[in-house]
Amino acid sequence: MRSAVLAAWTASPARFREDANAEEDFALGGYRDRLIVELAQNAADAALRAGVPGRLRLSLRE
């Protein structure tokens, strides 16, 4: 597993930075203050990969 991770980081330095950022976020308390932003970004990324328009609908209720 270690070899595969090192190979992925070598092939994509951006992947290394993303993984390092994720570890830092986890160490600092995860996404507790960015949950909605992260969910919206994940949905936008999925729509882009699928080649479809994305739409965000957010409803806050008491």
Instruction: Write out the chain's pLDDT in tens, 62 residues.
Output: 889 889 988 998 888 888 888 888 878 776 667 778 888 888 899 999 999 998 888 888 88
Q: What is the pTM of this model?
A: 0.46
Residue type, 5: V
8 contact partners, CB below 8 Å, separation of at least 6: 15
* Contact of 15 with 8, CB cutoff 8 Å: yes
Other CB atoms within 10 Å distance of the CB of residue 47: 14
Per-residue model confidence (pLDDT) at position 27: 80
b/e per residue 9-25 (b: at least 16 CB within 10 A): beeeeeeeeeeeeeeee
